[in-house]
Amino acid sequence: MGTLSYGMISSLDGFVAGADGDFDWAEPDEETHRFVNERERTVGTYLYGRRMFETMRAWAEDDWLADQPDYVREYADIWRAADKVVFSTTLAVPGIERTRVEPHVDLRALRTVKESSDTDLSVSGPTLAADLLRAGLVDELAIYVAPVVIGAGTRLLPTGLRLALSLAEEHRFASGIVFLRYTVRGGDGPQA
């Protein structure tokens, strides 16, 4: 069975994007990027909502990668080698290898995919992740906390969600980013 991980770069105050959608403060340095590459090698399937997929689809484009450092090009190869499932009612055929669009999130089907997978799965994007967290499908949180406070924006975690977590791993980078990996022990879903 594969592990389903929710991973994102977050500000210290818990946002993955600013109020205007900006996330330039979240660009990883070389050390962090190489660490991410090693972690992502185990991912066989990425799960995205439309907005996160639109952000990530740049990794399928060759034109901008030619002048990038080796660790950036390496991530593109890792990303391209994995399957990608995009949950969207508005996205047309994505035109990217190993990518399919599903019109809705079928939690039973996702549970079956997870249970039968030989590789890990990763959900990125807070909206889709919230649905999977509430359904009890997420096994771990893999959060890269950036040393910045942005004050408002898109939250990493939904309000009203309660989870019991165990710290499984932590790593500090020279840039000030801190990686925290928590296993999910349980939760009781949204709170009133």
- What strands, in cross-sheet order, belong to the sheet with 120-124? 99-102, 83-87, 43-49, 120-124, 4-11, 140-146, 178-190, 161-172
d(CA 175, CA 184): 27
DSSP 167: E
What is the spatial distance between Cα 73 and Cα 16, in angstroms, rounded to a whole number?
A: 23
Q: At what angle do helices 107-116 and 126-134 cross, to 10 degrees?
A: 80
SS3 percent helix, strand, coil of the chain, rounded to 5, is 30, 35, 35
Considering the domain delimited by 4-148+155-190, tell me its CATH architecture: 3-Layer(aba) Sandwich (3.40)
Q: What are the mean pLDDT values of the chain's consecutive 10-residue runs (192 residues total)? A: 93 93 90 96 94 90 90 94 92 86 90 91 94 95 97 94 95 97 76 38
Q: Residue 62: what pLDDT?
A: 85
Q: Which pLDDT does position 191 carry in this prediction? A: 41
| Nearest by Cα to 78 from 55, 97, 59, 94 | 59
In DSSP terms, 15 is beta-bridged to 155
